[in-house]
Chains A and B, each alone.
Chain A
Amino acid sequence: MGAILAAGIALAPLAAVVIVALGPMVDSLTGETFRRYAATSATLALLVGLGSALIGGLAAWLVALHDFPGRRVFAWALVTPLAAPAFVLAYGYASLFDVAGPIRTAWRTAFGWDPPLEMRTLWGAAIVMVLAFYPYVYLTLRAALVNTSSSLAEAARTMGLSRRQTFWRVTLPLARPALAAGVALAVMETLADYGATSYLTVQTLTTGVVRAWSIFYSAAEAARLALPLLAAAAVLLWIERASRRAVADSGQSRWREVERSRLPGFSSWLASLFCLSLIGLGLVLPLGWLAHLGWASNPDLAQLVSAGRNALGLGLVAALVTTALAALVALSARTGRFLPRLLSLGYATPGAVMAIGLLAPAGLIWRAFPATVSSFLMAIILLILAYASRLMAAALEPIDAGLQRISRSVRAAARSLGETEAGVARRVEVPLASGALFTAAMLVFIDVLKELPATMILRPFGFDTLAVMADHYAKDERLGEAAWPALSIVLIAVPAVIWLTRRVSHSRPGDSA
């Protein structure tokens, strides 16, 4: 019952997008524009996919299989860029590479000509997003490399393969599904991004969706732009899931920690430098520059406090609601895999698309019961629903894993001792999975804190979150003022991200890093 409710919440918006998109053509969207947006989205996805595979893959390979100075710190520090929304990096880099920005100025002074990199282009957006999203590849691939039992590699060595041959013929093929899954996640985020692409003036399908709604108030046009995004989400999701199955099936009977090889002198420093530069470029440089700009500006502290309060409140409520719904699904759908798979489609769906999908059913309810709830409350409820339907799958994952660790016989024992199914959930499953529930709530909280497009579309009039406030100031080219809410997001999210990473790593066998 609860599971059906949860599924309805997650899937209604997706169905609505399709229905609205296939409705009568009353908008001004031309085929030419549509194709241009789609081509930009596809190119951007391709560039970010390749870039994050290369950079995240290299980082994972170094950290998982080698020893070099600082490896233990890099193991978790390489994840921290996940705490910064892509749009924050975009602000930093756009300003750094501005005509009057420090890098361009310094370069001109030094070499006498302009550096060949322009941030407000497709390439610039791709670089920003690679730096923002490589941790997805890094995380999945590192986990796969670390979890590959060393006995497999040892078996290969005893059969006469060199270390290098073993990597190419055993380790990499075993980790390939994880690489694919990580890249799929990075591409999903790329397609879903609104804040960074719109700030860097790159016209993608997702920026198109937001524009269609917030400028032309055309749900039909927005939905039509959203349709290919929905299809891409389904494909990426399928890749991610299929890859994950392959990882799970790699059948390791006895687990033994992989043996890391010590890098010789010079290359070990090169490895450290590489990891350091990823963290530097992905976090320290753009955020440091923003902090510098922010310091020089005169922030509206009252507005900052109110936006922070809104963001925290929204994040808290969304985390509670989403975790509760996900727990309902996890507790009732443990026997079937169909429902969780459907929910994952919500996760792959860009927030902007989800918001458009919620507007249509909301409009119907609105017209049917015009005076039942205030428009403010209605908007907040819609927003929470949008977060819930988008993030339920993300919350479901740790909860499901937590519940799966409870052996079947423990449940059966509780039943045989006179407990009903609900009683077993209350007295055994929820207490045992409490850590997993907290992890799930935390994941949702961070994502809501960073979320921009759905919030932009659905929020009540005048209700700013930190992300919305940053976006407003940035679009006004007041980056100093934008820096304050942007950095606040990162400051709140960094400890949470580090905590989550360490927690997830520790639950894996042997990943002591």
Chain B
Amino acid sequence: MTDTIQVIGAVRRYGGKTAVDGVDLTLRPGRITCLLGPSGCGKSTLLRLIAGLEPLDGGRLVAGNQDISDLPPELRDFGLVFQDYALFPHLRIEDNVAFGLTHLPTVERRARVADLLARVRLADRARAFPGELSGGEQQRVALVRALARSPRAVLLDEPFSGLDSHLQTEVRSVTLDLLQSSGATVLIVTHDAEEAMQMADDLALMTEGRILQRGTPEACYRDPVSIAAARLLGEAEIIPATVGDGMAHTAFGNVAATGLADGPGQVMLRPDALGPGTTVRAQVSKLRFVGQGWRATLSVDGVSVTARLTERPGDTLLVDINPEAARAFR
């Protein structure tokens, strides 16, 4: 049931605007791929292209050995979970889940629906209508409905964005368990970096219709290919640098710059990149307590950076750059 899904050079244009601009993406069997990008970057369009809800203006889509670029959505065999869940308001929960199972005999169909609903602890809500369910319950129904046909892949479009923030963590872990136990090929589209890193086996970063970087969440976070990619995965401060002898020299110290040509450059700092040390004395201002520690603006020679500190600093602080949390770019 699970195939490798390959997106090859996918293009989608609206009028003069290119929403998806030559995207390559591989979804591997049994793995969860998260597509992370800011709103309007074309990630939902890409999902709709894969699902067949929008036509490709260029490129191909291959599932296993089969070219599915021109198949209508009902023949592509993908399960979809929508941002608004898209449950059929006129059908009971059990009929929503059974909607795509018309090919099964009645007895088998009922058994399958009951089994699926039991797995997300909704067996007692089978006769309810979608409007009677909470947001979290609706999300679970949408998920098992998509899984009911054992599709070759499951595509989820911002599946948690409609939920209250205190529900998100719990629903995410339920979803993750279910997706992993089903062994399905999964694509999750999201704008939330934390969510993407929590869910993903493979991560793809997207801006302005293009894929910036692919890799494991850790690799993408630690080694962003560009400043844009770095910013997608969390807070990042950019400071000016001068590259020379394989090092980027900044007001706060030096960062390895292997392979970068000499000349002006930039250094990206994560919030934990600056910590107490011995190298440079920084001025401390705008000190704020934020629960797990302190946030402060550190300034050296007119260059200011917002940093997260575990201890309360004084008016000045001797700091070092943590090389794990800093990267140099041209």
Q: Which residues of A contact B (CB under 8 A)?
A: 407, 409-410, 412-420, 423, 427-428, 431-432
Instruction: Please give, as numbers and ranges, the residues of chain B lying within 8 Å of A418 by CB-CB distance.
Output: 74-75, 77, 100, 102, 149
Identity of the chain A residue whose Cβ is nearest the Cβ of B97 in the assembled complex: A417
Q: Which residues of B contact A (CB under 8 A)?
A: 48, 51-53, 72-80, 82-90, 99-100, 102, 142, 145-146, 148-149
Q: How far is the CA of A428 from the CA of B89 in the complex (A)?
A: 9
B53 lies within 8 A of A415 (CB): yes
Identity of the chain B residue whose Cβ is nearest the Cβ of A433 in the assembled complex: B90
Given A419-B74, A432-B90, are A414 and B99 neighbors across the interface (CB < 8 Å)?
yes
Instruction: Please give, as numbers and ranges, the residues of chain A lying within 8 Å of B73 by CB-CB distance.
Output: 412, 415-416
Given A418-B100, A431-B90, are A409 and B82 neighbors across the interface (CB < 8 Å)?
yes
Q: How far is the CA of A427 from the CA of B110 in the complex (A)?
A: 19
Identity of the chain B residue whose Cβ is nearest the Cβ of A432 in the assembled complex: B90
Instruction: Please give, as numbers and ranges, the residues of chain B lying within 8 Å of A412 by CB-CB distance.
Output: 48, 51, 53, 73, 80, 82, 86
Instruction: Please give, as numbers and ranges, the residues of chain B lying within 8 Å of A427 by CB-CB distance.
Output: 99
Given A415-B72, A418-B74, are A410 and B51 neighbors across the interface (CB < 8 Å)?
no
Identity of the chain A residue whose Cβ is nearest the Cβ of B89 in the assembled complex: A432
Minimum-distance CB pairs A-B, first 7: A417-B100, A409-B86, A409-B82, A415-B73, A413-B86, A416-B80, A410-B86
Identify which of B76, B83, B100 gathers the most chain A CB atoms within 10 Å of its CB.
B100
B84 lies within 8 A of A416 (CB): no
A414 lies within 8 A of B88 (CB): yes
Q: How far is the CA of A416 from the CA of B102 in the complex (A)?
A: 13
Given A407-B84, A409-B84, are A417 and B89 neighbors across the interface (CB < 8 Å)?
no
B74 lies within 8 A of A413 (CB): no
Instruction: Please give, as numbers and ranges, the residues of chain A lying within 8 Å of B75 by CB-CB distance.
Output: 418
Q: List 24 A-B contacts (CB under 8 A).
A: A407-B84, A409-B82, A409-B83, A410-B87, A410-B88, A412-B48, A412-B53, A413-B88, A414-B99, A415-B52, A415-B53, A416-B53, A416-B76, A416-B79, A416-B100, A416-B146, A417-B79, A417-B145, A417-B149, A418-B75, A418-B102, A419-B100, A427-B99, A432-B90
**Given pairs A409-B83, A412-B51, 9 additional interface contacts (CB within 8 A):** A407-B84, A407-B86, A412-B82, A416-B51, A416-B79, A416-B80, A417-B79, A418-B74, A432-B90
Instruction: Please give, as numbers and ranges, the residues of chain A lying within 8 Å of B88 by CB-CB distance.
Output: 410, 413-414, 428, 432
Instruction: Please give, as numbers and ranges, the residues of chain A lying within 8 Å of B76 by CB-CB distance.
Output: 416
Instruction: Please give, as numbers and ranges, the residues of chain B lying within 8 Å of A409 by CB-CB distance.
Output: 82-86
Instruction: Please give, as numbers and ranges, the residues of chain B lying within 8 Å of A414 by CB-CB distance.
Output: 88, 99
Q: How far is the CA of A26 from the CA of B75 in the complex (A)?
A: 61
Q: How far is the CA of A403 from the CA of B74 in the complex (A)?
A: 21
Identity of the chain B residue whose Cβ is nearest the Cβ of A405 in the assembled complex: B89
Distance (whole angstroms) from the CB of B80 to the closest CB of chain A: 4
A413 lies within 8 A of B80 (CB): yes
Given A410-B88, A413-B82, A431-B90, are A420 and B53 neighbors across the interface (CB < 8 Å)?
no
Distance (whole angstroms) from the CB of A17 to the closest CB of chain B: 38
Identify which of B51, B52, B99, B142 gathers the most chain A CB atoms within 10 Å of its CB.
B99
Q: How far is the CA of A465 from the CA of B89 in the complex (A)?
A: 42
Q: How far is the CA of A214 from the CA of B77 in the complex (A)?
A: 62
Q: How far is the CA of A410 from the CA of B52 in the complex (A)?
A: 15
Q: How far is the CA of A309 from the CA of B145 in the complex (A)?
A: 50
Instruction: Please give, as numbers and ranges, the residues of chain B lying within 8 Å of A417 by CB-CB distance.
Output: 74, 79, 99-100, 145, 148-149
Identify which of B52, B53, B148 gathers the most chain A CB atoms within 10 Å of its CB.
B53
B74 lies within 8 A of A420 (CB): yes
Q: How far is the CA of A418 from the CA of B101 in the complex (A)?
A: 9
Which of B74, B83, B87 is close to A416, meaning CB atoms less than 8 Å apart?
B74
Instruction: Please give, as numbers and ranges, the residues of chain B lying within 8 Å of A413 by CB-CB distance.
Output: 80, 82, 86-88, 142, 145
Instruction: Please give, as numbers and ranges, the residues of chain B lying within 8 Å of A432 by CB-CB distance.
Output: 88-90
Identity of the chain B residue whose Cβ is nearest the Cβ of A434 in the assembled complex: B90
Q: How far is the CA of A432 from the CA of B84 in the complex (A)?
A: 17
Distance (whole angstroms) from the CB of A113 to the closest CB of chain B: 67
Q: How far is the CA of A432 from the CA of B91 in the complex (A)?
A: 10
Distance (whole angstroms) from the CB of B13 to the closest CB of chain A: 17
Q: How far is the CA of A300 from the CA of B178 in the complex (A)?
A: 75
Instruction: Please give, as numbers and ranges, the residues of chain B lying within 8 Å of A428 by CB-CB distance.
Output: 88, 90
Q: How far is the CA of A415 from the CA of B80 in the complex (A)?
A: 10
Q: How far is the CA of A423 from the CA of B88 in the complex (A)?
A: 14
Q: How far is the CA of A431 from the CA of B80 in the complex (A)?
A: 22
Instruction: Please give, as numbers and ranges, the residues of chain B lying within 8 Å of A416 by CB-CB distance.
Output: 51-53, 73-74, 76, 78-80, 100, 146
Q: How far is the CA of A407 from the CA of B145 in the complex (A)?
A: 17
Distance (whole angstroms) from the CB of A409 to the closest CB of chain B: 4
Q: How far is the CA of A417 from the CA of B142 in the complex (A)?
A: 11
Q: How far is the CA of A413 from the CA of B77 in the complex (A)?
A: 12
Q: How far is the CA of A415 from the CA of B77 in the complex (A)?
A: 10
Identify which of B86, B89, B102, B142 gathers the most chain A CB atoms within 10 Å of its CB.
B86
Instruction: Please give, as numbers and ranges, the residues of chain B lying within 8 Å of A407 by CB-CB distance.
Output: 84, 86
Identify which of A407, A409, A410, A413 gathers the most chain B CB atoms within 10 Å of its CB.
A413
Instruction: Please give, as numbers and ranges, the residues of chain A lying within 8 Å of B74 by CB-CB distance.
Output: 415-420, 423
Identity of the chain A residue whose Cβ is nearest the Cβ of B142 in the assembled complex: A413
Q: How far is the CA of A125 from the CA of B241 in the complex (A)?
A: 86
Q: How far is the CA of A407 from the CA of B90 in the complex (A)?
A: 13
Instruction: Please give, as numbers and ranges, the residues of chain A lying within 8 Å of B146 by CB-CB distance.
Output: 416
B86 lies within 8 A of A420 (CB): no
Distance (whole angstroms) from the CB of B230 to the closest CB of chain A: 32
Identity of the chain B residue whose Cβ is nearest the Cβ of A428 in the assembled complex: B88
Distance (whole angstroms) from the CB of A159 to the closest CB of chain B: 33
Distance (whole angstroms) from the CB of A496 to the closest CB of chain B: 25
Distance (whole angstroms) from the CB of A437 to the closest CB of chain B: 13
Identity of the chain A residue whose Cβ is nearest the Cβ of B154 in the assembled complex: A416
Instruction: Please give, as numbers and ranges, the residues of chain A lying within 8 Å of B78 by CB-CB distance.
Output: 416
Instruction: Please give, as numbers and ranges, the residues of chain A lying within 8 Å of B77 by CB-CB distance.
Output: 418
Distance (whole angstroms) from the CB of B131 to the closest CB of chain A: 13
Instruction: Please give, as numbers and ranges, the residues of chain A lying within 8 Å of B80 by CB-CB distance.
Output: 412-413, 416
Q: How far is the CA of A32 from the CA of B148 in the complex (A)?
A: 75
Distance (whole angstroms) from the CB of B106 to the closest CB of chain A: 17
Instruction: Please give, as numbers and ranges, the residues of chain A lying within 8 Å of B51 by CB-CB distance.
Output: 412, 416
Distance (whole angstroms) from the CB of A361 to the closest CB of chain B: 37
Distance (whole angstroms) from the CB of B315 to the closest CB of chain A: 45
